Chains A and B, each alone.
Chain A
Amino acid sequence: MLIFDELKKNDPQLRLVAMVLAAGLCILLAGLWWVQVVSAHEYQSHLETQAYRTVRLPAIRGKILDREGRVLAENRPRYNLSLYLDDLHDEFQKEYNRLRPVKIATNSPPFWKLWLGSVLVKTNYAPMSKSEVAALTLQARYNVANNLVAQMSRTLQQPLVLDPKNFEHTYANSPYAPYSILSDMSGDQIARFEENFSVGSGVNLDLQPARVYPFGTTAAHLLGYLQRYDESIEGEDAVFNYRLPDYRGLVGIEGGFDAQLHGHAGTESMLINSRGYRQSENIIDPPQSGDNVVLTIDLDIQRAAENAIAAHQGADARAAAIVMDVHTGDVLAMVSSPAINPIYVSNNPAYLNDPKLQPQINRATYGNYAPGSIFKPIVGLAALENGLDPNEIYHVQSDPAEPWHGYIKVGTRTIKDTVPPGDYDFRRAIQQSSNSYFIFNGLRTGIEKIARLAEKFHFGERTGLPTRQESRGIFPTLNQVEDSSSWHAGDSANIFFGQGEMAVTPMQMAVAYSAIANGGKVLKPRLVERIEPQDPTSGEAATDFPSGVVRDEIGVSERSLKILYDAMLSETEDPKGSGYAAFHQAGSVLNIRVCGKTGTAQVENERGQKTGWNYWFASFAPFENPRYAVVVMVQSDVTIGSGGSVCAPIAHDIYEEILKKENAVAAKIVARN
């Protein structure tokens, strides 16, 4: 090579110099190779760590709709006012320069500058120590931000304060992130802001979705509620420098279908400079909106049921109501009273934790209650299937202590009957709700047969709701009842009138009455009809949940069911029936025949003291071809009547709404044709 000639020249000194030079250049080359080729990855990741910040962008949460597409939960835009610290940087500097102490000094320019006309007096910044500079910088920053906040406070006519500590902390840690000073502005405030501030003034609106429930407390227990939760969920990036607020559902539909509603959070990559200010943003993984959940609930029936409870028992009533389609298992309404605000934080904590009201409990699915007499139809079915002649008369004995009451002796124990003594056949026993009749015939049929039938109804098991708020209820197993050492006739007698070692949820009763009404199919209740993409044009397929999923068959003959239907119909149609009054009030034009059963269960604490009553009305209609099951339960500490007087009127109102809807649909069909 031309330039390396010297290495060959016969000049030992120059040759040595050339060799040293070549060696030096080789060292640099090797060093560069090491840094730029071998370790390039390491330094590139260094660069990324110091120059990039990732921001978690929550997805837009899916809506919750009723079966007719009416919105029960959605998002509304919420405007927050934030300081953008990077836009304020110049202001910080200006304020700093303004605050800096100055001193007037005499200039001593070089002589040629004096000839050129330099002035002798100039202002100099007074020297400051490092800590003074730091304190002044901090002061300048706070002044600028605080002035801006004060200015906004005047414009928006709302007192706003800037906490110096919090402000400095944010500045030191994430100056690229918006610093929120006012959240959820009113429309009026937004308008005033837009009039007075422009982009780049260091303060701006940022938009975040807020969950909103247009019908307030309607179906609140079913919908569930959200909790602030910014953490990454499974399948997302785990590490972010900054997270925008996000929420997750805890219970109810919001909780049970959180995975679908929540969507997939995205990632924004933010390039920042050495001061930590934003330079550019780039969404590297856009958030994917959550799906909508379409419920089987009918908003009209739901609200009618809620209003009926409130109208008859007051807003603070501890009650539950369920309306179910007996063929599909669709839950058309599910009410738990007293209601809560689905925006959980808006509830008064004292109210939420009220030990008596317990508003957080979804009574429709999570409360365990003694069913009382509404369990008698199940006992009756078992007896009819095992040879009970419905026309056979059972004579209820008169209680010697209270002769106007009947009673029955089981072993050495005396069990009071609410009905007067006399002759009872199956129909009259259901209609009047005779304990003695069902204890006598239950014992005759045998507890095992009744337990076996109850097993088919799946008492003592969850119905399989996705809402994370379901209890299994209590029911003795076959093994328990067959163990004669621990199970006695008295225990069986209690079961036969729906007391003792058993408890149900209103949902279990709705499923059971639906099974009786539909000819024996125990269905899985369906709360969610389908899950569909939020954007219908996205092309993603909706997931439909099958209706009418049969969990079990009770295996009861048509004849027994018809006998039971007939007896239950008399409860509302025979003037002596306990539900008659509710369904025959003045002005009632209910054009539907309802098979019902009333119940009143005494609640005892562990020491056997009476602590309250559970009132029930369980029913299905229409009698000719049942389509709806309606179960109403009301709790009370004091006796306020009977299932017929407390719950049946609520059920009546619910049926009224159901009929109104049916007529409207029929009218529509007629109109269309």
Chain B
Amino acid sequence: MVNPSINERGPKLDALQLVALALLMFIGAMFVYSATMANAPASLPWYDQSWVRQIIWYAIGLGAGTALCIVDYHILARWSFVAYWATIFFLVIVLVPHIGMTHGWGARRWIDLGPFQFQPSEFAKLSFILAAANFLSRPPDELKQAGIFWKGIGLMLLPFALILKEPDMGSALVLIPTGLVMMFVAGTPKKYLLTLVVGVGILGALVLADILFAPPALRIKMQDYQRQRLLVYFGANFADANATPEQKAEARRLQAKSSYQGKQSLISVGAGGFFGAGWRNGKQTSLQFMPPGAAHNDFIFSVIAEEEGFVGSVVVLTLYAVVLFTGLRIAGQARDRLGKLVAVGVVTLLFSHVFINIGMNIRIVPVTGIPLPLLSYGGSSVLCSLIALGLMQNVHIHRRGY
């Protein structure tokens, strides 16, 4: 058990969490390499290789995280609403054509900054945590007021709606558990929370029912691919019972196409078996059954699982467990409710990412484009994960001292 006296000597980082983070980053670089180099042209210069870029992003992220550790989170919290509204601004302008980039996906998620693009939704998650922590850290009595409660909900729904509009359902959805858990930990009265959970549940069920069973005229407007992914997940038949053979064939083709990625990731994970094929020996990536754009990105876990097997999966899960539970410990040891809420927010956000991402690789949740923190390739994701973890360490460092 931890001896509290050790921690009384002043600022100190949570070493265990840092070790887990370092290992995750190491694994991330290794498997981004494995996922991209199998089919990379030999002429690709080293500085254009994804794994090098990933390491550069780790470095930038570590720098940003460290910078955030230096300033006391109380000072940061004072600026939280500025950050919040700034990201809301970016979330709005990313929807404007010519500013927001689609990358050919049909979703406007990126803002072009010359040498690189950034994804405002990633930063919105961070600023939301800070702003919500700041907002909810008021005295618990105030949280019993309905006005405060609804303001909190509004704080959550504004970025949620904007991100959903891009559309980026995965990123939008993780805001909900993050916000709810923070409200719960802050001490929002149970009746509000129950109402909220039941409300969200009913709404979710209605949306789902609409997608699966409603005739086309009554369907909620959403991207075709999103609907198809959900249909695939719930095993629905794409073809109408009274469709013509051509329509049925088309529906079958569409179904095969929509279920392709989920099916391939499941094959990757399953084919890994207990010990895996070995680093760089995964067939699914080298033979491009896993689409080359996705393997190092949202589906990096399937690459790890195929190449390192169940053993590798357990290692990854364990490392995440270490990060999450040390995070909760930080929350428990935090000096005040603000610190506790920041730490809990970060933990919940990370957990949501991990659960949804790994879950979609093994078909526990529908396929949604959501990165696996620190392992998936991508600057914004890496940067935000490290900044979030920096915030958590900040809470840890400044748990005493006043």
| Chain B residue, CB-CB nearest to A52 | B283
Q: Is the interface of B mostly helix, strand, loop or mixed?
A: helix
Judging by beta carbons under 8 Å apart, are B313 and A21 in contact? Answer: no
C-beta contact mask, B343-358 vs A, less than 8 Å → 1, else 0? 0100110010011001
B166: min CB distance to chain A, Å: 20
The CA of A13 and the CA of B274, in the complex, are separated in Å by 37
Judging by beta carbons under 8 Å apart, are B328 and A17 in contact? Answer: yes
For residue A94, which residues in chain B have a CB less than 8 angstroms away from its CB? none
B185 contacts the other chain (CB 8 A)? yes
A190 contacts the other chain (CB 8 A)? no
Judging by beta carbons under 8 Å apart, are A32 and B305 in contact? Answer: yes
Pick the contact of A21: B2, B269, B283, B347 (CB < 8 A).
B347
Q: Which of A42-50, A541-549, A552-560 contacts B (4 or more CB under 8 A)?
A: A42-50
Q: Which of B73-81, B150-158, B284-292 contacts A (4 or more CB under 8 A)?
A: B284-292
C-beta contact mask, B247-271 vs A, less than 8 Å → 1, else 0? 0000000000000000000111111
Q: Which of A105-113, A450-458, A595-603 contacts B (4 or more CB under 8 A)?
A: A105-113
Which among B1, B114, B187, B362 has the greatest number of chain A C-beta atoms within 10 A? B362
Pick the contact of B271: A2, A31, A47, A271 (CB < 8 A).
A47
A330: min CB distance to chain B, Å: 59
| Chain B residue, CB-CB nearest to A3 | B325
A306: min CB distance to chain B, Å: 58
A39 contacts the other chain (CB 8 A)? yes
Judging by beta carbons under 8 Å apart, are A51 and B287 in contact? Answer: yes
Pick the contact of A46: B16, B98, B267 (CB < 8 A).
B267
The B62-87 residues at the A interface (CB cut-off 8 A) are none
The A1-33 residues at the B interface (CB cut-off 8 A) are 2-6, 9, 11, 13-14, 16-18, 21, 24-25, 27-29, 31-33
Q: Which of B45-53, B218-226, B231-239, B316-324 contacts A (4 or more CB under 8 A)?
A: B316-324
The CA of A117 and the CA of B42, in the complex, are separated in Å by 30
B364 contacts the other chain (CB 8 A)? yes
| Chain B residue, CB-CB nearest to A5 | B329
C-beta contact mask, A65-105 vs B, less than 8 Å → 1, else 0? 00000000000000000000000000000000000000000
The CA of A522 and the CA of B286, in the complex, are separated in Å by 70
The CA of A275 and the CA of B267, in the complex, are separated in Å by 17
B314 contacts the other chain (CB 8 A)? yes
| Chain A residue, CB-CB nearest to B282 | A47
Q: Given that A27-B364, A44-B273, A47-B267 are known contacts, is A32 also in contact with B313, CB under 8 Å in the complex?
A: yes
For residue B181, which residues in chain A have a CB less than 8 angstroms away from its CB? 17
The CA of A42 and the CA of B271, in the complex, are separated in Å by 8
For residue A271, which residues in chain B have a CB less than 8 angstroms away from its CB? 283, 287
A151 contacts the other chain (CB 8 A)? no
Pick the contact of B324: A21, A27, A50 (CB < 8 A).
A21
| Chain B residue, CB-CB nearest to A24 | B355
B263: min CB distance to chain A, Å: 8
For residue A485, which residues in chain B have a CB less than 8 angstroms away from its CB? none
B336 contacts the other chain (CB 8 A)? no
Judging by beta carbons under 8 Å apart, are B313 and A6 in contact? Answer: no
A612: min CB distance to chain B, Å: 63
B81: min CB distance to chain A, Å: 25
Judging by beta carbons under 8 Å apart, are A47 and B332 in contact? Answer: no
Judging by beta carbons under 8 Å apart, are B1 and A5 in contact? Answer: yes
Judging by beta carbons under 8 Å apart, are B317 and A29 in contact? Answer: yes
The CA of A13 and the CA of B185, in the complex, are separated in Å by 5
The tally of residues in A whose CB lies under 8 Å from a CB in B reads 44
Judging by beta carbons under 8 Å apart, are B266 and A43 in contact? Answer: yes
Q: Given that A3-B16, A273-B287 are known contacts, is A32 also in contact with B114, CB under 8 Å in the complex?
A: no
For residue A112, which residues in chain B have a CB less than 8 angstroms away from its CB? 114
C-beta contact mask, B283-303 vs A, less than 8 Å → 1, else 0? 110111100000000000000
The CA of A4 and the CA of B2, in the complex, are separated in Å by 11
Judging by beta carbons under 8 Å apart, are B271 and A46 in contact? Answer: yes
Judging by beta carbons under 8 Å apart, are A272 and B310 in contact? Answer: no
Pick the contact of B325: A21, A31, A35, A274 (CB < 8 A).
A21
B309 contacts the other chain (CB 8 A)? yes
Judging by beta carbons under 8 Å apart, are B347 and A3 in contact? Answer: no
For residue A33, which residues in chain B have a CB less than 8 angstroms away from its CB? 310
A147 contacts the other chain (CB 8 A)? no
B192 contacts the other chain (CB 8 A)? no
The A368-394 residues at the B interface (CB cut-off 8 A) are none
A325: min CB distance to chain B, Å: 63
Pick the contact of B98: A6, A13, A43, A108 (CB < 8 A).
A108
For residue B328, which residues in chain A have a CB less than 8 angstroms away from its CB? 6, 14, 17-18, 21
| Chain A residue, CB-CB nearest to B313 | A32
| Chain A residue, CB-CB nearest to B320 | A25
Pick the contact of A14: B283, B286, B326, B332 (CB < 8 A).
B332
The CA of A37 and the CA of B267, in the complex, are separated in Å by 13
B112 contacts the other chain (CB 8 A)? yes
For residue B340, which residues in chain A have a CB less than 8 angstroms away from its CB? 14
For residue A37, which residues in chain B have a CB less than 8 angstroms away from its CB? 273-274, 310
The CA of A42 and the CA of B267, in the complex, are separated in Å by 9
For residue B114, which residues in chain A have a CB less than 8 angstroms away from its CB? 110, 112-113
A36 contacts the other chain (CB 8 A)? yes
Q: Given that A3-B326, A21-B328 are known contacts, is A35 also in contact with B185, CB under 8 Å in the complex?
A: no
For residue B305, which residues in chain A have a CB less than 8 angstroms away from its CB? 32, 36
The CA of A257 and the CA of B291, in the complex, are separated in Å by 52
B159 contacts the other chain (CB 8 A)? no
The CA of A43 and the CA of B276, in the complex, are separated in Å by 12
B272 contacts the other chain (CB 8 A)? yes
| Chain B residue, CB-CB nearest to A27 | B364
Judging by beta carbons under 8 Å apart, are B287 and A272 in contact? Answer: yes
Q: Given that A14-B332, A25-B321, A36-B309 are known contacts, is A31 also in contact with B364, CB under 8 Å in the complex?
A: yes
B106 contacts the other chain (CB 8 A)? no
The CA of A86 and the CA of B271, in the complex, are separated in Å by 26
Pick the contact of A6: B187, B269, B289, B332 (CB < 8 A).
B332
The CA of A273 and the CA of B351, in the complex, are separated in Å by 35
For residue A21, which residues in chain B have a CB less than 8 angstroms away from its CB? 324-325, 328, 347, 351
B386 contacts the other chain (CB 8 A)? no
Judging by beta carbons under 8 Å apart, are B364 and A274 in contact? Answer: no
Judging by beta carbons under 8 Å apart, are A28 and B283 in contact? Answer: no
B331 contacts the other chain (CB 8 A)? yes
A271: min CB distance to chain B, Å: 7
Judging by beta carbons under 8 Å apart, are B325 and A4 in contact? Answer: yes
Judging by beta carbons under 8 Å apart, are A29 and B314 in contact? Answer: yes
Judging by beta carbons under 8 Å apart, are B270 and A17 in contact? Answer: no
For residue A28, which residues in chain B have a CB less than 8 angstroms away from its CB? 317, 354-355, 358-359, 362, 364
Pick the contact of B283: A3, A27, A47 (CB < 8 A).
A47
B27: min CB distance to chain A, Å: 16
The CA of A239 and the CA of B286, in the complex, are separated in Å by 26
Pick the contact of A43: B267, B314, B358 (CB < 8 A).
B267
B118 contacts the other chain (CB 8 A)? no
| Chain A residue, CB-CB nearest to B310 | A36
For residue B2, which residues in chain A have a CB less than 8 angstroms away from its CB? 2, 5
B279 contacts the other chain (CB 8 A)? no
Judging by beta carbons under 8 Å apart, are A36 and B274 in contact? Answer: yes
A279 contacts the other chain (CB 8 A)? yes
B328: min CB distance to chain A, Å: 4
B184 contacts the other chain (CB 8 A)? yes
For residue B289, which residues in chain A have a CB less than 8 angstroms away from its CB? 50-51, 273-274
Q: Mind listing 13 A-B residue pairs with CB under 8 Å?
A: A2-B2, A4-B325, A17-B185, A21-B328, A24-B351, A25-B324, A32-B317, A32-B358, A35-B270, A40-B271, A40-B272, A46-B267, A50-B289
Seen from chain A, the residues whose Cβ lies within 8 Å of a Cβ on chain B are 2-6, 9, 11, 13-14, 16-18, 21, 24-25, 27-29, 31-37, 39-40, 42-44, 46-47, 50-51, 108, 110, 112-113, 271-275, 279
Beyond A6-B325, A113-B114, A271-B287, list 7 extra A-B contacts (CB 8 Å): A17-B181, A17-B185, A17-B344, A24-B351, A37-B274, A43-B269, A44-B273
